[in-house]
Structure 1
């Protein structure tokens, strides 16, 4: 018989952890766009060169919904010319999530 694991008090649920990480992807994308003075229109044009046809408005909505795929994220990073990305630690993500709740 398997033992059920008990979550320590104060520890986030798996769905909360996933939600925290889901919020990080658009934050990173927006940061990279700002660092490059890239608008959603610019990003749409760069993605078109790669064969991805999304309007600037649709890109804006997709990013602001905060639930896009990893493939979309990677395509955007490539379109922006990002060759290296610093991924925050889980603790950094959880701390940031706690501040936004």
Structure 2
């Protein structure tokens, strides 16, 4: 059985403050603890906004999802919407006269 003895009053070990917002490129331990606790990472304001937006994985996943939806919609439209014949033009499915 071990007994934990607190350090002397003048020699406290450094504590990692999880709620503190680290500066960009700051303490790696603080950033790791924030990520582990589900807290957002600080935004590096030195990087221009377009570069920050284009580097975000959520943007690319959203665009890929939209492209997939549009492609699926077009395929379903072509499969399930019949073509209608106009006057003077036979439909594709009819036999020639």
TM-score range, shorter chain: under 0.3
- Higher Rg of the two aligned structures: 2
Structure with greater helix share of residues = 1
| Alignment TM-score, normalising by the size of structure 1 | 0.27
**Higher RCO (C-alpha 8 Å, min separation 6):** 1
